[in-house]
Amino acid sequence: MAMLGQAVLAISKNRMVTRIVKQSSLFRGMVNRFVAGEDLESAIVATQNLADQHLTATLDQLGEDVRSIEEATAAVSSYTTTLERLASAGLEPNISVKLTMLGLDLSETVTVQNLETILATARQVSGFVRIDMEGSAHTAATLRIFERLHDQYPEHVGIVIQSYLKRSLADITRIIDRGARVRLVKGAYAEPESVAYQNMSEVRRQFLVMMRMLLDAGHYPAIATHDPELIEATLAHAGAKGYGADKFEFQMLYGVRRDEQLRIAAAGHRMRVYVPFGTEWYPYFTRRIAERPANALFVLRNLRR
């Protein structure tokens, strides 16, 4: 991750900065670009608008690091409601979940039970649940839980792999062997050099290696990037191998490169948009800002005022 992005992430953890951003109307406009709204109905409207433009969606209720079993139980109820609400609206029931929101920092056993409840609902409505990958401290447990439940719900659960983690090549090989669905991303958390590549050219190189592995041997992978170089490389590899549009999909974030999302869909490729919603938007917002230098500069300038 670039030094500017790391600076934004570091500053964003300051309590005073957090308060300023959450209360500022100046930042609210930027938040509204990246977050569909603070409630489920706003996310449903956004998903329908995307569907009208021939784009699919995965909904993510923002929140992580719950502090009690009760909070984790409430998250389960919210996730199952989201799946049911999407189905009743005639939209694809597709969601993304963070295991720390299901209690991973409290109890792995409880987390498994909570995720199983969500997956049972996904099976009932013919839906799909993607387990988001969080910071490297949670990677091993997240993969362990995913593999355990993928055995029970192979068509209803997938995982995210981050190309900047040094362990990911081995992880993705194992996941391909089990026929599971992978979303490939670069990675958005500040990680030490001991576990993650720091040079963006190396992160891209790893992404390309894994993208080709997934297209050649994976089960309907999601290539999640806004990077023009990686998008073109994916299209080139798919074209050279004769892979059709049903072989894989692209994924992008809500509010990011919207014209490119439409261009890719118009060219006959599948495009899914990651649609976050909810009141706990601050951590997600700061990671999106840190990923783009222009946005990071805007934030840093305004924090100094």
Q: How confident is the model at residue 248 (pLDDT cuts 50, 70, 90)?
A: very high
Q: Give the least confident one: 67-71, 198-202, 232-236, 296-300.
A: 296-300
9 and 141 in a single domain? The answer is: no
Which H or E element spans position 250? strand 249-253
- Report pLDDT digits (tens) over 188-223: 888 999 999 999 999 999 999 999 999 999 999 999
179 pLDDT more than 50: yes
Q: How far apart are CA 2 and CA 6, in angstroms?
A: 6
pLDDT of residue 189: 87
Report yes or no on 48 lying in a domain. no
Q: What integer is the mean pLDDT of 130-147?
A: 97
Assess whether 124 and 25 both reside in one domain: no
Residue 10, pLDDT above cutoff 70: no
Confidence of residue 30 (pLDDT cuts 50, 70, 90): low
- 24: containing domain: 1-35+281-305
* One domain for residues 126 and 22: no
Confidence at residue 86, expressed as pLDDT on a 0 to 100 scale? 98
Residue 282: CB atoms within 10 Å: 15
Residue 29 in domain: yes
Judge whether residue 104 has pLDDT over 50: yes
Say what the pLDDT of residue 297 is: 47
Whether 141 and 244 map to the same domain: the answer is yes
**Is residue 192 in some structural domain?**
yes
Q: What per-residue confidence (pLDDT) applies to 292?
A: 56
Q: Are residues 174 and 260 in the same domain?
A: yes
Do 21 and 63 have their domain in common? no
Residue 57: both structure tokens together = 């969606």
- State yes or no: is 85 an active-site residue: no
Question: Are both 6 and 108 inside the same structural domain?
Answer: no
**Does residue 52 form part of some domain?**
no
Residue 45 lies in a domain: no
What value does the mean pLDDT take over residues 237-254? 97
Asked if residue 49 is part of any domain, the answer here is: no
User: Which pLDDT band, with edges at 50, 70 and 90, does 285 fall under?
Assistant: low
Contacts of 57 (CB under 8 A, 6+ apart): 46, 47, 50, 51, 91, 92, 94, 272, 273, 274, 275
Domain count, the chain: 2
| 235-244, 264-273, 282-291: least confidently modelled range | 282-291
Tokens 């958390």 identify what position? 189
What pLDDT shows up at residue 174? 98
Q: What percent of the chain stands above pLDDT 70?
A: 82
Q: Residue range 47-66: average pLDDT? A: 93
My answer on whether 91 and 207 are in the same domain is yes
pLDDT of residue 24: 55
Residue of 130, 181, 183, 204 marked active site: 183
Confidence tier at 34 by pLDDT (50, 70, 90):
confident
Helix (H, G, I), strand (E, B) or coil at 192: coil
146-151 contact pairs (CB < 8 A, 24+): 146/180, 147/178, 148/112, 149/112, 149/115, 149/116, 149/119, 150/178, 150/180
Q: What is the pLDDT of residue 65?
A: 79
Residues 126 and 241 placed together within one structural domain of the fold: yes
Q: 4: pLDDT confidence band, cut at 50, 70 and 90?
A: very low
Task: Indicate the range of 2-16, 28-42, 136-150, 166-180 predicted with least confidence.
Answer: 2-16
The encoded tokens of residue 95 equal 């969601």
Task: Indicate whether 96 and 177 sit together in one domain.
Answer: yes
Q: Higher confidence at residue 288 or residue 60?
A: 60
> Is 181 contained in some domain?
yes
- How does residue 305 score in pLDDT terms, banded at 50, 70 and 90? very low
The yes-or-no answer on residue 183 being catalytic is: yes
Q: pLDDT tens digits for 148-158?
A: 999 999 999 99
Which ranges of 35-138 would DSSP assign to H, the alpha helix?
40-52, 69-88, 108-124
Task: Identify whether residues 95 and 235 lie together within a single domain.
Answer: yes
Q: How far apart are alpha carbons 155 and 181 in whole angstroms?
A: 8
Q: What pLDDT shows up at residue 290?
A: 62
From the candidates 85, 132, 270, 287, which is the catalytic residue?
Answer: 132
Query: Contact 111/146 with Cβ under 8 angstroms?
Result: no
Considering the domain architecture, whether residues 185 and 217 belong to the same structural domain is answered as yes
Give domain status of residue 143, yes or no: yes
